[in-house]
Amino acid sequence: MAQPATNVALSHCAHDHEACITDALARADTVCRQQGLRLTAIRRRVLELIWANHQPTKAYDLLAQINAKRGNAAPPTVYRALDFLLEAGLIHKIESQNAFIGCAVDHERNQPKFFICRECGRAAEIQSSQIDDVIASEAQEAGFVVDHQTIEVDGLCAACAGAESTNS
Protein backbone atom coordinates (compact mmCIF):
# COMPACT_ATOMS: atom_id res chain seq x y z
CA MET A 1 0.00 0.00 0.00
CA ALA A 2 2.16 2.75 -1.32
CA GLN A 3 -0.42 5.49 -1.71
CA PRO A 4 -3.41 4.11 0.16
CA ALA A 5 -5.06 7.27 1.32
CA THR A 6 -5.90 8.92 -1.94
CA ASN A 7 -9.04 6.89 -2.24
CA VAL A 8 -10.03 7.54 1.31
CA ALA A 9 -9.72 11.23 0.68
CA LEU A 10 -11.71 11.13 -2.49
CA SER A 11 -14.41 8.99 -0.95
CA HIS A 12 -15.25 12.00 1.12
CA CYS A 13 -15.08 15.07 -0.97
CA ALA A 14 -13.98 15.25 -4.54
CA HIS A 15 -11.47 18.04 -4.19
CA ASP A 16 -8.53 18.39 -6.50
CA HIS A 17 -6.15 16.36 -4.47
CA GLU A 18 -3.22 16.80 -6.83
CA ALA A 19 -3.56 20.55 -6.60
CA CYS A 20 -3.75 20.40 -2.86
CA ILE A 21 -0.43 18.57 -2.76
CA THR A 22 1.33 20.85 -5.21
CA ASP A 23 -0.01 23.92 -3.46
CA ALA A 24 1.32 22.68 -0.16
CA LEU A 25 4.73 22.03 -1.66
CA ALA A 26 4.78 25.42 -3.31
CA ARG A 27 3.96 27.07 -0.02
CA ALA A 28 6.69 25.06 1.67
CA ASP A 29 9.18 26.23 -0.95
CA THR A 30 8.22 29.81 -0.29
CA VAL A 31 8.36 29.53 3.47
CA CYS A 32 11.75 27.88 3.39
CA ARG A 33 13.19 30.36 0.93
CA GLN A 34 11.98 33.24 3.06
CA GLN A 35 13.46 31.80 6.22
CA GLY A 36 16.68 30.52 4.78
CA LEU A 37 15.76 26.90 5.39
CA ARG A 38 16.79 24.14 3.04
CA LEU A 39 13.90 22.05 1.80
CA THR A 40 16.08 19.19 0.57
CA ALA A 41 14.93 16.33 -1.62
CA ILE A 42 14.17 13.99 1.27
CA ARG A 43 12.37 16.62 3.29
CA ARG A 44 10.33 17.58 0.28
CA ARG A 45 9.54 13.97 -0.46
CA VAL A 46 8.37 13.32 3.11
CA LEU A 47 6.20 16.41 3.04
CA GLU A 48 4.75 15.33 -0.29
CA LEU A 49 3.92 11.88 1.04
CA ILE A 50 2.25 13.35 4.11
CA TRP A 51 0.05 15.53 1.96
CA ALA A 52 -0.63 12.70 -0.46
CA ASN A 53 -1.82 10.49 2.36
CA HIS A 54 -4.15 13.22 3.45
CA GLN A 55 -4.46 11.69 6.88
CA PRO A 56 -2.26 11.63 9.92
CA THR A 57 0.57 9.39 8.81
CA LYS A 58 2.98 7.35 10.91
CA ALA A 59 6.71 7.68 10.60
CA TYR A 60 7.21 4.04 9.67
CA ASP A 61 4.50 4.21 7.04
CA LEU A 62 6.32 7.13 5.48
CA LEU A 63 9.49 5.09 5.65
CA ALA A 64 7.79 2.22 3.84
CA GLN A 65 6.43 4.55 1.20
CA ILE A 66 9.85 6.04 0.65
CA ASN A 67 11.38 2.61 0.29
CA ALA A 68 8.58 1.24 -1.87
CA LYS A 69 10.03 2.50 -5.14
CA ARG A 70 13.71 2.06 -4.47
CA GLY A 71 16.27 2.21 -1.75
CA ASN A 72 16.06 1.34 1.88
CA ALA A 73 16.18 4.39 4.03
CA ALA A 74 16.48 3.91 7.79
CA PRO A 75 14.28 5.41 10.51
CA PRO A 76 16.57 8.39 11.27
CA THR A 77 16.16 9.58 7.70
CA VAL A 78 12.44 9.98 8.17
CA TYR A 79 12.58 11.26 11.72
CA ARG A 80 15.11 13.90 10.78
CA ALA A 81 12.93 15.08 7.95
CA LEU A 82 9.93 15.12 10.28
CA ASP A 83 11.86 17.11 12.88
CA PHE A 84 12.78 19.66 10.26
CA LEU A 85 9.23 19.95 8.98
CA LEU A 86 7.84 20.28 12.50
CA GLU A 87 10.39 22.93 13.33
CA ALA A 88 9.53 24.81 10.15
CA GLY A 89 5.84 24.62 11.02
CA LEU A 90 5.05 22.75 7.82
CA ILE A 91 3.57 19.76 9.61
CA HIS A 92 2.11 18.98 13.03
CA LYS A 93 2.30 15.88 15.16
CA ILE A 94 -0.95 14.28 16.26
CA GLU A 95 0.17 13.18 19.70
CA SER A 96 -2.71 10.84 20.35
CA GLN A 97 -1.76 8.82 17.28
CA ASN A 98 1.99 9.28 16.98
CA ALA A 99 1.29 10.51 13.49
CA PHE A 100 2.03 13.54 11.36
CA ILE A 101 -0.11 15.77 9.19
CA GLY A 102 0.50 18.69 6.87
CA CYS A 103 -0.23 22.22 7.98
CA ALA A 104 -1.90 24.73 5.70
CA VAL A 105 -2.61 27.26 8.40
CA ASP A 106 -0.99 30.46 9.52
CA HIS A 107 -0.09 30.16 13.19
CA GLU A 108 0.73 33.78 13.89
CA ARG A 109 -2.21 34.01 16.22
CA ASN A 110 -3.54 30.48 16.56
CA GLN A 111 -2.11 27.34 17.97
CA PRO A 112 -2.83 24.14 16.10
CA LYS A 113 -5.99 22.20 16.98
CA PHE A 114 -7.66 19.27 15.32
CA PHE A 115 -10.95 17.50 14.90
CA ILE A 116 -10.10 13.88 14.23
CA CYS A 117 -12.69 11.48 12.84
CA ARG A 118 -12.53 7.96 14.21
CA GLU A 119 -14.39 6.67 11.18
CA CYS A 120 -12.55 8.08 8.18
CA GLY A 121 -9.38 8.83 10.08
CA ARG A 122 -9.06 12.33 8.76
CA ALA A 123 -7.86 15.21 10.87
CA ALA A 124 -9.17 18.69 10.16
CA GLU A 125 -7.15 21.58 11.47
CA ILE A 126 -9.43 24.25 12.87
CA GLN A 127 -8.50 27.89 12.92
CA SER A 128 -10.80 29.60 15.35
CA SER A 129 -9.00 31.65 17.95
CA GLN A 130 -11.82 31.31 20.47
CA ILE A 131 -10.29 28.23 22.00
CA ASP A 132 -6.92 29.92 22.24
CA ASP A 133 -8.52 32.91 23.88
CA VAL A 134 -10.22 30.82 26.53
CA ILE A 135 -7.08 28.87 27.23
CA ALA A 136 -5.09 32.08 27.43
CA SER A 137 -7.47 33.54 29.97
CA GLU A 138 -7.56 30.35 32.02
CA ALA A 139 -3.80 30.25 31.98
CA GLN A 140 -3.47 33.87 32.97
CA GLU A 141 -5.79 33.27 35.88
CA ALA A 142 -3.58 30.39 37.02
CA GLY A 143 -0.37 32.31 36.44
CA PHE A 144 0.62 29.74 33.88
CA VAL A 145 2.82 30.85 30.99
CA VAL A 146 1.71 29.05 27.85
CA ASP A 147 4.31 27.74 25.53
CA HIS A 148 2.63 25.18 23.33
CA GLN A 149 -0.75 23.49 23.10
CA THR A 150 -1.89 20.04 22.14
CA ILE A 151 -5.58 20.08 21.26
CA GLU A 152 -7.00 17.00 19.64
CA VAL A 153 -10.73 16.39 19.58
CA ASP A 154 -11.76 12.89 18.59
CA GLY A 155 -15.17 11.97 17.29
CA LEU A 156 -17.16 11.74 14.09
CA CYS A 157 -16.90 14.23 11.27
CA ALA A 158 -20.07 15.58 9.71
CA ALA A 159 -19.83 13.28 6.71
CA CYS A 160 -19.29 10.12 8.74
CA ALA A 161 -21.90 11.06 11.33
CA GLY A 162 -24.37 11.54 8.48
CA ALA A 163 -23.49 8.22 6.91
CA GLU A 164 -23.90 6.45 10.21
CA SER A 165 -27.34 7.84 10.96
CA THR A 166 -28.41 6.95 7.42
CA ASN A 167 -27.40 3.33 7.99
CA SER A 168 -29.26 2.92 11.23
Partner DNA sequence: CTAATAGCGTTATCATATAACATCAAGGAG
Partner DNA sequence: CTCCTTGATGTTATATGATAACGCTATTAG
Q: Which one, 64 or 160, has the nearer CB to DNA? A: 64
Alpha carbon distance 70, 159 (integer Å): 37
Q: Which one, 75 or 155, has the nearer CB to DNA? A: 75
Q: Which stretch binds a copy of itself (CB under 8 A): 2-10, 22-30, 46-54, 140-148?
A: 140-148
Question: Which of residues 13, 14, 16, 76 is near DNA by CB under 7 A?
Answer: 76
1 binds, among DNA, a copy of itself, none (CB under 5 to 8 A by kind): none
Size of the site for DNA (CB under 7 A): 21
Residues 9, 17 contacting (CB under 8 angstroms): yes
Nearest alpha carbon to residue 62 among 16, 15, 2: 2
DSSP-derived letter for residue 96 is: G
Does position 37 bind a copy of itself by CB under 8 A? no
Instruction: Show contacts with a copy of itself in window 63-122 (CB under 8 A).
Output: 95-96, 115, 117-118
Bridge partners, 99 (sequence order): 58, 94
The DSSP H or E segment spanning 133 is: helix 130-142
Q: Which one, 4 or 75, has the nearer CB to a copy of itself? A: 75
Question: Which of residues 47, 51, 57, 84 is near DNA by CB under 7 A?
Answer: 84
Burial class (CB in 10 A: 0-12, 13-18, 19+), 25: middle
